[in-house]
Amino acid sequence: MRIMFVGDSMTIGSAGDYTWRYRMWQHLNRTYGGPYRIVGPRDTLYDIAAAEPVSYDYGDPGFPERARRHLAGWGEGWLHMAPLIGEAVRAHKADTLLISLGLIDLGFYTDADQTAENARRFLTEARAVRPHVRAVLLPVIPNVRASGDPDFAAQCDRFNELLAKTVADLSTPASPLLLASPPEDYALDRDTYDGTHPSPSGEHLLAAAFADAMYQGWDEGGPYEPAA
């Protein structure tokens, strides 16, 4: 299994973060019974002071370089990743994509319907290179903006409906897609540090959403339990 994490600022993380990618790596080391590799063209965190993705200051300095790989970017969404995914899958031979995208699209670039079209384009581009690629997709978790902006909240809900339809329409036995369940008890005041980006507890909840989807849908790994 060759896993590629794909996401926006919630996935790349910023200097000092552990990231949910790290939590997922810990989970796979505990529960996955076969060989696997984390792949991707990038390995850094975003440095807010420098306004560039140039930091290697992970919360755990022991997080090995080989496990830090990803295709995630601060301010990047489906719109930006759709043109990149084909080459990334080809170059790194990814066969399993764990995807958390959409919030930045809806916040700054595209409405729900346009964002869903870009998600379909993304999947088409990935499959054009690797027809048997599979993916777990996480619905958008509304951030603090949705609390005071009903129109934005409605766009998040609309996109999540369209994403579920996309997964149902496009999943095939040869290239299966799973829709992860968003964490039911995700609390912005506890599970984010700024109303959007995950705190350590939020990182665990995001990793659990992917881990549990893989276990329930593909019988891989096991139920998520935070590392001691």
Q: What residues does each domain of the chain span?
A: 2-218
Q: Above 90 in pLDDT, residue 213?
A: yes
CATH code linked to domain 2-218 = 3.40.50.1110
Q: What is the mean pLDDT of the chain?
A: 97
Radius of gyration of the chain (CA): 16
List own/partner pairs for 212-221 with CB under 8 A and 24 or more apart.
212/180, 212/181, 213/136, 213/178, 213/179, 213/180, 213/181, 214/136, 214/178, 215/31, 217/136, 217/176, 217/178, 218/134, 218/176, 218/178, 220/1, 220/32, 221/27, 221/28, 221/31, 221/32
Closest CA to 210 of 183, 187, 185, 180: 180
pLDDT digits (tens, 9 = 90+) for 110-130: 999 999 999 999 999 999 999
- Kindly report whether the global pTM for this prediction surpasses the value 0.85: yes
Q: What proportion of the chain, given as a percentage, has pLDDT over 90?
A: 96
Average pLDDT over residues 24-32: 96
pLDDT at 227: 79
pLDDT at 196: 97
pLDDT at 228: 61
